[in-house]
């Protein structure tokens, strides 16, 4: 059955320790690529490897029939760090909470446990296993290409440039499929939007040196006071971002999304906070469709024990903005810079540096495939899928929307307690079986897709 074929396929993929965040694993990344290329070739795919965009990008295509629609499936073979040494020799501390060797597939009878079994080898592997099976039985209903990159977990890849360079042929696909997230509450889920992001470091300088607060305090400016006063102006008393024009251009959803009490309570439990700072009915709105501003770091003055009582000449804040779908990051950067100019006295020197800037995206639900995916999910999971509006960012999805403009299906297949990026990353058999069955039915040639 499909489950055992899946395990056979995924085991050796897991064993390649393709950790992209640490350069010492370069050879392991290469091994993962070689393994993928050999496997796709063996299954009859035409494979290309692109080397000019960071870690190699594997692009493998299988054409069934030019009459059929074509789909592009995105995934990544790079993984988050995990204890990679020889397992029996690792101390308790070196195992970092892992109970079994992360780069070996462990079957608990209920779950598969391994690094990347959810993020993302395990999820892209579900589509691979289903599609290989359909190829064997001659029932594959789409022309299929896999685009599997190796820099998803770093900020260093240039997949955006790859999409630019290859846009001519990539635009030919009828739709894109990504399975790289979590089922919400283990209910079938289709992700519909992501927010953008914009991080900045703001530095205030009032003097080249720190000054005695007794000798000069009250007469000379303090960078820390000035920064605190500036940061206080970023929000109004309702908590809204007070930068002029910040709420223009937001792409409003057509329906009001709310969470029932069970999901709200679960959210409180997961976050460990006492209360939400918006009314219950506005929680989804606040997380998914509204911009947010978080001061993620503050630094100024003496950090040691006791008091130094000096006036800091410099102060720094790091701020992360989440942008609503529709907000243009370029214009938001300008608005922020203007706000800093307008709200700092002339005796404060300021520098602002931006990083990790990307827009949000709102994905349409009107393609034929979207509706087909919903119907098949209903059939496989026994429940109609919920539409999830995500507060975090999804660079690949933004770039596909911006550069290719093809419909996207974001179909998470992993259980919501799969501990992505953490110790004992896992995939439940329930999620796996549903995922395999869904993928198999979805890509199968049938009446809807003759």
Output the smallest distance, CB 349 to Zn ion, in A: 39
Helix 121-137 and helix 429-443, axial crossing angle in degrees, nearest 10: 40
* Minimum distance from residue 421 beta carbon to Zn ion (Å): 6
For residues 439 and 409, give the distance between their C-alpha atoms in angstroms, rounded to a whole number: 12
Query: Please, which residue, 117 or 406, has the CB nearer to Zn ion?
Result: 117
Indicate the residue among 19 and 231 with the shorter CB distance to Zn ion.
19
In the bound state with Zn ion, the residue whose beta carbon lies nearer, of 126 and 293, is: 126
CA distance 115 to 84: 10
For Zn ion, which is the closer residue by CB, 54 or 301? 54
Applying the rule CB under 5 A, the residues between 404 and 433 that interact with Zn ion are none
Q: How far is CA 283 from CA 84, 190, 191, 246, 248, in A?
A: 40, 19, 17, 20, 20
Structure tokens at 102: 């992360």
**To the nearest whole angstrom, how small is the minimum distance from the Cβ of residue 80 to Zn ion?**
6
Q: Looking only at residues 5 through 64 of this chain, which bind Zn ion when binding is defined by CB under 5 A?
A: none
Q: Which residue is nearest to Zn ion (CB)?
A: 119
CB 374 within 8 A of CB 189: no
| Residue among 119 and 399 whose Cβ is closer to Zn ion | 119
Establish how many alpha carbons lie within 13 A of residue 70's alpha carbon, considering only the half-sphere containing its beta carbon.
16
The SS3 of residue 124 is helix
Contact letters for Zn ion, residues 98-127 (x by CB under 5 A)? ---------------------x--------
Nearer residue to Zn ion within complex by CB, 119 or 151 = 119
- What CA–CA distance (Å, rounded) separates 142 from 139? 9
Smallest separation (angstroms) from Zn ion to the CB of 118? 9
Judged by beta carbon, residue 119 or residue 226, the one nearer Zn ion is 119
Residue numbers 172-191 binding Zn ion by CB under 5 A: none
Total number of residues that touch Zn ion (CB under 5 A): 1
Closest CB to Zn ion among residues 119, 416: 119
- Min dist. Cβ of residue 129 to Zn ion (A): 21
Question: Biggest alpha carbon distance in the chain?
Answer: 85
Cβ 153 to Zn ion shortest distance, Å: 5
R_g over Cα of the chain = 25
CB-nearer residue toward Zn ion: 116 or 143 = 116
Min separation Cβ 181 and Zn ion, Å? 10
Q: Which pair of tokens denotes residue 64?
A: 């069934």
Least separation, in Å, of the C-beta of 293 and Zn ion?
25
**Distance separating alpha carbons of residues 46 and 54, to the nearest angstrom:** 22
User: Dihedral (C-alpha) 189, 401, 20, 419: value to the nearest 10 degrees?
Assistant: -10
Please, what is the minimum distance in Å from the beta carbon of residue 120 to Zn ion? 7
Residue number, 2 or 396, with CB nearest to Zn ion: 396
Q: Taking the complex as a whole, how short is the minimal distance between the CB of residue 173 and Zn ion, in angstroms?
A: 24
Measure the CA–CA gap between 277 and 38, rounded to whole angstroms: 52
Token code pair at residue 365: 């639900």
How far is 340 from 229, CA to CA, in rounded Å?
12
Question: 120 preceded by cis ω (within 30°)?
Answer: yes
Contacts of 111-115 with CB under 8 Å at 24 or more apart are 111/426, 111/427, 111/428, 111/429, 112/7, 112/10, 112/426, 112/427, 112/429, 112/432, 113/424, 113/425, 113/426, 114/14, 114/425, 114/426, 115/14, 115/79, 115/80, 115/82, 115/425
**Binding region for Zn ion (CB under 5 A):** 119
């Amino acid at each position: 059955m499909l489950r055992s074929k899946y395990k056979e396929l995924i085991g050796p993929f897991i064993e390649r320790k393709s950790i992209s965040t640490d350069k010492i694993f370069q050879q392991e990344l290469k091994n993962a690529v070689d393994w993928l290329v050999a496997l796709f070739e063996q299954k009859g795919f035409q494979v290309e490897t692109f080397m000019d965009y960071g870690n190699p990008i594997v692009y493998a295509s299988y054409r069934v029939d030019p009459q059929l629609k074509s789909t592009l499936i995105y995934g990544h073979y790079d993984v988050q760090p995990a204890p990679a040494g020889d397992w029996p020799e690792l101390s308790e501390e070196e195992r970092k909470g892992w109970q079994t060797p992360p780069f070996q597939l462990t079957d608990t009878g209920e779950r598969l446990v391994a690094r990347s079994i959810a993020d993302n080898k395990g999820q892209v592997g579900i589509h691979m296993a289903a599609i290989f099976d359909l190829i064997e039985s001659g029932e594959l209903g789409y022309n299929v290409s896999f685009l599997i990159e190796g820099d998803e977990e770093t900020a260093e890849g240039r997949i955006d440039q790859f999409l630019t360079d290859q846009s001519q042929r990539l635009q030919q696909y009828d739709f894109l499929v990504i399975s790289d997230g979590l089922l919400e509450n283990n209910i079938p889920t289709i992700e519909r939007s992501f927010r953008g992001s914009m991080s900045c470091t703001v530095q205030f300088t009032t003097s080249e040196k720190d000054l005695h607060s007794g000798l000069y305090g009250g007469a000379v400016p303090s960078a820390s006071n000035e920064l605190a006063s500036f940061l206080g102006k970023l929000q109004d008393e309702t908590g809204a971002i007070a930068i002029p024009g910040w709420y223009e251009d937001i792409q409003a959803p057509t329906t009001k999304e709310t969470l029932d009490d069970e999901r709200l309570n679960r959210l409180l439990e997961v976050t460990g906070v006492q209360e939400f700072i918006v009314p219950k009915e506005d929680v989804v709105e606040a997380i998914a469709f509204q911009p947010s501003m978080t001061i993620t770091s503050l630094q100024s003055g003496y950090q040691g024990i006791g008091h130094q009582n000096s006036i800091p000449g410099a102060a720094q804040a790091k701020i992360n903005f989440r942008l609503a779908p529709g907000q243009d990051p370029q214009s938001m950067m300008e608005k922020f810079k203007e706000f800093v100019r307008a709200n700092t006295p002339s005796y404060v020197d300021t520098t602002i540096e931006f990083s990790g800037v990307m827009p949000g995206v709102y994905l349409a639900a009107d393609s034929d495939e979207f509706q087909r995916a919903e119907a098949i999910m209903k059939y496989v999971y026994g429940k109609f899928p919920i539409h999830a509006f995500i507060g975090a960012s999804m660079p690949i999805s933004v770039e596909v929307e911006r550069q290719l403009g093809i419909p996207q299906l974001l179909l998470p297949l992993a259980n919501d307690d799969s501990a992505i990026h953490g110790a004992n990353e896992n995939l439940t058999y329930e999620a796996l079986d549903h995922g395999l069955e869904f993928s198999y039915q979805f890509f199968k040639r049938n009446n809807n897709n003759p």
